[in-house]
Homo-oligomer: A and B are copies of this chain.
């Protein structure tokens, strides 16, 4: 039995479940007269007759499949999986830190918290009523109530325990200490609620409505274990065992930078040819959503010495450095040169679309991981989802690194370059007949920020699929905030 999908907070799923993310697990329907002819080695996904087929729509022009990238050296071409594996194998596990319990919320516990105390600390009433002896009240019936003498009243917080004997009762509030001699609390609503004498209409069995000391936690018992995500219930338990602070896996500190001679800051009106830096904002937001402590460090300077100073200072204060647009201008690049001076950057053509230009390295004295992603804002957020978010979750200690995926029926034809894994922003909705239907919001070739902002998922089309016919099944990764 596998754990319920818990939004990736670490109680379910196994490390490495991401392989599923990319698999288009679809039944192959028999070819139909109208089905496009498959290229050798390429798959064409046609509708399964048993799935709901939405109203036909105009087919949009898909991206034009790219011919093989002969100009790129073979050792620089790499699959999504290989690039991701290398990043995940190299990201460090930041050392645990001690935080105030409220600041630990959402993080994973990094110590075995054992209780020095018993919880409850003393035998107590579980509700408002009368502490009594079970044998005195066991025969009580509404038509034949048992009368007890009320010897007093005990409220929660009262220190000195009293005691009762046969035929006696102590009025108790929920949480009040049980008097010695009592082994049951008769709920107030089972009595006439008398103050001098009380008529009991029913008696619980021995131990009824009594919380025994140590029932919940005995001294020395484990309370919160290593790897447990800390939420309100864990904070409740930590406070109860007297912990004001707790050791946790910290949020990784991520510096978000962007490179590009065309970039100006958001406060500036761009001149012709210039573009506002949106990536440092969007990626800092995405990194925070993934659980990181993200610093938006903005546009890299173009002066080589200042550029190197900025990179070095970011390497000193970060657990991971994220740079968008390193390869934006193509060919000779100051940022690439500055990075190369700091260590070995592996630049890659990853077989994905959009944004094959990716790089990764461990730079500086502390070998801080540096991930370079494309500067085009749609490709940047796709690369973030594919490579950076899993790395952040791994650094947080989460076991579930990847978003949950669902299979959805394509509401329109999707075309995809052979050999490239395509990620398309889309809108996925529940179909009234069951299952999901997905529509792309653009064709993936354009920098369509407004369309991307209307998307609620990424559609993943596998490397060996060149076309998904309308009605075919496709893998969809819902992009839920905080999910």
CA distance A330 to B129 in the complex (A): 10
Interface size on A, residues (CB 8 A): 130
Q: How far is the CB of A128 from chain B (nearest CB, A)?
A: 5
Across the interface, A70 reaches (CB within 8 A) one of B189, B238, B448, namely B189
Q: With A3-B429, A102-B288, A121-B274 given, name 12 new contacts (CB 8 A).
A: A4-B478, A7-B483, A105-B288, A121-B270, A155-B262, A159-B273, A161-B273, A175-B376, A177-B273, A221-B450, A239-B266, A239-B281
Task: Assess A119 versus B266: contact at CB under 8 Å? Given A285-B102, A455-B233.
Answer: no
Whether the pair B174, A328 counts as a contact (CB closer than 8 A) is: yes
Stretch at the interface among A35-43, A79-87, A211-219: A211-219
Whether the pair B4, A272 counts as a contact (CB closer than 8 A) is: no
CA distance A128 to B69 in the complex (A): 13
Stretch at the interface among A25-33, A431-439, A464-472: A431-439
Stretch at the interface among A240-248, A310-318, A339-347, A359-367: A240-248
A286 sits at the interface (CB 8 A): yes
Q: How far is the CB of A309 from chain B (nearest CB, A)?
A: 22
Report whether over half of chain A's contact residues are helix, strand or loop; otherwise say mixed. Answer: loop
Q: Hey, what's the 0/1 contact readout for A161-197 against B, CB within 8 Å counting as 1?
A: 1000000000001111100000000011110010000
CA distance A240 to B281 in the complex (A): 10
CA distance A229 to B72 in the complex (A): 41
Whether the pair B381, A456 counts as a contact (CB closer than 8 A) is: no
A89 sits at the interface (CB 8 A): no
A482 sits at the interface (CB 8 A): yes
Task: Assess A275 versus B156: contact at CB under 8 Å? Given A105-B288, A126-B445, A377-B240.
Answer: yes
A6 sits at the interface (CB 8 A): yes
Q: How far is the CB of A176 from chain B (nearest CB, A)?
A: 8
Q: How far is the CB of A100 from chain B (nearest CB, A)?
A: 10
Q: How far is the CB of A159 from chain B (nearest CB, A)?
A: 4
A481 sits at the interface (CB 8 A): yes
Q: List 20 A-B contacts (CB under 8 A).
A: A1-B431, A1-B437, A4-B430, A7-B480, A105-B289, A106-B482, A119-B450, A126-B446, A156-B262, A158-B261, A173-B328, A173-B330, A177-B272, A216-B451, A231-B285, A231-B289, A235-B285, A236-B452, A237-B450, A482-B482
- Give chain B residues whose Cβ lies under 8 Å from the Cβ of A430: 1-5
CA distance A289 to B102 in the complex (A): 11
Q: How far is the CB of A152 from chain B (nearest CB, A)?
A: 14
Whether the pair B282, A232 counts as a contact (CB closer than 8 A) is: yes
Across the interface, A7 reaches (CB within 8 A) one of B175, B231, B482, namely B482
Chain B CB count within 10 A is highest, among A126, A430, A447, for: A447
Stretch at the interface among A15-23, A90-98, A143-151, A200-208: A200-208
A120 sits at the interface (CB 8 A): yes
A59 sits at the interface (CB 8 A): no
Across the interface, A157 reaches (CB within 8 A) one of B211, B224, B273, B453, namely B273
CA distance A156 to B162 in the complex (A): 83
Q: Hey, what's the 0/1 contact readout for A101-138 against B, CB within 8 Å counting as 1?
A: 11001100000000000011110001010000000000
Q: Which residues of A pack against B, CB within 8 Å?
A: 1-7, 9, 11, 64, 66-67, 69-72, 101-102, 105-106, 119-122, 126, 128, 142, 155-161, 173-177, 187-190, 193, 201-202, 204, 208-209, 211, 215-217, 221, 223-224, 228-229, 231-240, 242-244, 260-263, 266-267, 269-279, 281-286, 288-289, 296, 328-330, 375-377, 381, 384, 428-432, 436-437, 445-453, 455-457, 478-483
Whether the pair A428, B4 counts as a contact (CB closer than 8 A) is: yes
- Sorted from nearest, which 5 A-B pairs have the closest CB atoms? A157-B262, A236-B282, A156-B262, A157-B261, A232-B286
CA distance A432 to B4 in the complex (A): 11
CA distance A221 to B262 in the complex (A): 24
CA distance A239 to B446 in the complex (A): 18
